[in-house]
Amino acid sequence: MQFLLRIIFLVLAISAALRIVNTLARFFTNLGTAKAPPAAKPQYDPPSTTVLQQDPVCGTYISAGASLKRIVNGKVLHFCSEECRDKYPA
């Protein structure tokens, strides 16, 4: 019976020692790291759903809100850049 109690005591002692070592390791690891400042809020709130349009010149997909628009034959075309807009045959 004493042997069993000594085994239980040894297991508990090892468990407590491991907990102390882990706690100290976390403390010293976090000691040298500075907390990052809170992330800056974006200057604009992007919409939750973005409609992508394909540039008819280069094939790049661009959000409808950020594209350069041109109306040709009553249809709105979306371009990714001024160069693509100028290259499009009107």
Could you read off the pLDDT of 52-80 as tens digits, one per residue? 899 999 999 998 888 999 998 999 999 99
Under 8 Å between Cβ of 83 and 61: no
Identify the residue with better confidence: 3 or 45.
Answer: 3
**C-alpha span between 64 and 54 (Å, rounded):** 9
**Global model pTM greater than 0.85:** no
